[in-house]
Structure 1
Amino acid sequence: MDRRAMLRATVLGAGAVALPFTAWSAAYGAPAQNAAGPYGGLQAADANGIQLPAGFTSSVVARSRRTVPGTSYTWHDAPDGGAVFPNGSGWVYVSNSEVAAGAGGASRLVFNSSGAVVGASRILSGTNSNCAGGKTPWNTWLSCEEVSLGRVFETYPLGGTAVARPAMGRFKHEAAAADPVRRVVYLTEDETDGKFYRFVPATWGDLSAGTLQVFRAGTGTSGTFTWATVPDPDGSPTPTRQQVSGAKTFNGGEGCHYADDTVWFTTKGDNRVWQVNLAAGTYELAYDDNLVNPGTAPLTGVDNITGSTAGDLYVAEDGGNMEICMITPDDKISVFLRITGQSGSEITGPAFTPAGDRLYFSSQRGTTGSSSGGITYCVTGPFRR
């Protein structure tokens, strides 16, 4: 039994007895270590410059400043965070545009049941540096501004008008992940002294009002934690990250993903993936590039993160070797894909279709190294489900 399954079994088992942290710590393994990937090694780069395991194929679905094939819509610059939403027999892929000076926002691609694009449109405009975000259980997309006093915008990929959600705090937002069990939304902050937050809506499904709280813990890489209310979510004149004594600092919060009573988030400043065990009230490292053995750490420049229906984590690199790496539930890490010839870019927006058989993502600056060169891809193949 892997440690995530063991954790759930222990917490939910006989009497749901809470162990002291020293016992939990002894039960945990080390952060993820190098291993052969479940799909085998990478093949030679395909026509799109992507190296994939045998049986997987890639396609280009959109390019910045070009008309999306099958539509009249021009795809946005600097595609970043993304998510997939069910839409009848098809689905919608949403992508942020990380452009400043009021030129940011988000767009959508509409697919039919066979995976062909049948529509594309803007769902958010006039915002700043929309980096990552998160999907809600009621099928809205939270598009986050990565600027000082940035806002969260709730957008409607299936139809509706986007609206700002200031109660979720004004800070340098990065990603969001909804937890339907505790009825909260987790939020990362892209600052060197950033914090990890959760927003507790007054009414689940309505993000117009609620309480912003910050993660409090010691200075170590594992331990127990609590939540404390942020007195002034507006973040002015005192930034939210400086308002609560004992709030734990994280170096450059990036992607965030929730599943099975666990939330994972990444920190780019120290190339780590953090794992918060919500049922147990503990946290630890799921990955640290300084603690990988044997051999060289495969994952650097950690950024966006998502998960598959099999419980595998997929972590995209901002730079590094332009890879998406896999962390399996038994804490093994390997390279799933590599984009070649695009060293001036970063991989963004990984997201699976509801069926788990397609993975969408973007190269934010493509082969040109410019925000106008973004490319959005789809990979299909025998994903574990």
Structure 2
Amino acid sequence: MERRNFLRASVVGAGALALPFTLWEGTGLGSPAQPAPGPYGPLRAADTNGIMLPSGFTSKIVARSRQVVAGTSYTWHDAPDGGACFADGTGWAYVSNSEINPDGGASVIRFNAAGTIVSAGRILGGTRLNCAGGATPWKTWLSCEEVDRGYVYETYPFGGTAVRRPAMGLFQHEAAAADPVRKVVYLTEDESDGRFYRFVPTTWGDLSRGTLQVLVAGTATSGSFTWANIPDPDGSPTRTRHQVQGAKVFNGGEGCHYADDRVWFTTKGDNRLWQVNLVAGTYELAYDDSLVTPGTPPLTGVDNVTGTTGGDLYVAEDGANMEICLITPGSQVSPFLRITGQSSSEITGPAFNPAGDRLYFSSQRGTSGSSSAGITYCVQGPFRR
């Protein structure tokens, strides 16, 4: 499947799961982000990689689908999608999903302290449309299948055999975000009538057993919420999203990011970014392209989302004009980068290295629009931290 622009019409790194997003605490209900000049200034002309960046930032290509990763013998996968960075000694590792069917999965590239590639390899194979996912505090990657009654697979970037985690529910999974304070994992569902879930493990750090719950709330765009247990996480014959009366509907759940008692997630069907305040028990809109005034919304085709220790959110676009947009804690949104000449692709897998000075991401289908033409990039520069 080559993904989903037609639906618009109808972390983060494991060492940074509790980022200090304290500046968001002043954001009031009903005040979604509005356009403003970016903190790094305007975008410059495209560089040799076709990427427009602010002054002081540079890009490089890390890997290309069906080509050997430089310095290794490993061939990079097709259709790179969701990703995350993990601390690895003095270096780090970047994990990326492969959104193809039937032989999807995930791969990893490892870097030394200087950012030089030292190895690469497969950590999951033989799965279906591995779209997004999420990192855990114990340095595993949750790779999620975006298919009807799809699974979450727990994978091991530093060695170990991937394990299917059916207790986390069988549905059209998208992203996951671990919350080490409440000891739960949040999950999005890529359906036009999708729901927002959390998985409560029986033992934190062991995802083999636990309780799947769904967010219950009214139909408004802000308010209070509760959690209710899903009676049958297997989703058959009744799909998980239809099992609990009053479960709030979200139109096409996508990226998900946790930090400092809040979780953010995007919905592609209505082009929104939601913020859930886990202490107050409330939810609200952090961004809605239909509420941008005046002028053209800077962010459309919302998809994957990640954040920095400085409190900024970075939201990748699926199509649109191929930008990663930045939303500040002061609710200001602006383009951070734009990929040119790749209008038939989407930006996927944004993730910062542990130091926060490099942002990894992919163009899933590159210049040709084919899943075999994916490109994975790294942007380096003076990110706010």
TM tier, smaller: over 0.9
Over the matched positions of the two proteins, sequence identity in percent amounts to 76
- The verdict on how the C-alpha distance between 1:305 and 1:232 changes in structure 2, with shifts beyond 3 A counting, is same
- Displacement of 1:294: 2.6
**1:62-81, aligned counterparts within 5 Å?**
62-81=63-82
User: Matched residues in 2 for 1:329 and 1:351: separation?
Assistant: 18
RMSD: 1.1
Cα distance in 2, alignment partners of residues 198 and 227 from structure 1: 8
Equivalents in 1 of 2:105, 2:199: separation in Å?
A: 22
User: What SS does the aligned partner of 1:127 have?
Assistant: coil
- How high is the TM-score relative to the length of structure 1? 0.93
Q: Matches of 2:25 and 2:299 in 1, distance apart?
A: 27
Q: Which amino acid aligns with 1:75?
A: W
Deviation per CA, 1:92-147: give whole Å up to 9, x if none: 0000000012x000000010000011100000000000000000010100000000
Counterparts in 2 of 1:77 and 1:7: CA distance versus 1, 3 Å: closer
Q: Deviation at 1:29?
A: 5.7
Structure 1 segment 202-221 matched on structure 2, within 5 A? 202-221=202-221
C-alpha separation between the residues in 2 aligned to 1:383 and 1:294?
A: 28
* Equivalent in the alignment of 2:38: 37
C-alpha distance in structure 2 between counterparts of 1:30 and 1:198, whole Å: 26
SS at match of 1:290: helix
Q: Aligned equivalents of 1:258 and 1:321: distance in 2? A: 26
Equivalent residue letter for 2:217: A
| Contact 2:30–2:284, Cα closer than 8 Å, also in 1 | no
Residue 6 of structure 2: aligned partner: none
Separation in 1, partners of 2:197, 2:301: 22
In structure 2, the residue matched to 1:282 is: 282
1:29 and 1:220 mapped to 2: Cα distance? 11
Q: Which residue of 2 aligns with 1:46?
A: 47
Count of residues in correspondence between the two structures:
365
Task: Name 1:232's counterpart in structure 2.
Answer: 232
- Alpha-carbon shift at residue 30 of structure 1 (Å): 1.3
SS in 1 for 2:126: strand
Q: Unpaired segments of 5 or more residues in structure 2?
A: 1-20
Return the structure number with greater relative CO, CA threshold 8 A, min gap 6: 2
- Counterpart amino acid of 1:201? P
Matches within 5 A, 1:1-385: 5=22, 8=25, 27-28=28-29, 30-101=31-102, 103-385=103-385
Cα distance in 2, alignment partners of residues 28 and 77 from structure 1: 41
List 4+ stretches of structure 1 deviating above 2 A.
Answer: 4-9
TM-score, length-scaled by structure 2: 0.93
Cα displacement (A) at 1:336: 0.1
Q: Is the radius of gyration larger for structure 1 or structure 2? A: 1
- CA offsets, 1:20-58, max 9 Å, x none? xxxx9xx43610000000000000000000000000000
State the alpha-carbon separation in 2 of the partners of residues 308 and 5 from structure 1: 12
Return closer, same or farther for 1:300/1:380 CA change in 2, 3 Å cut-off. same
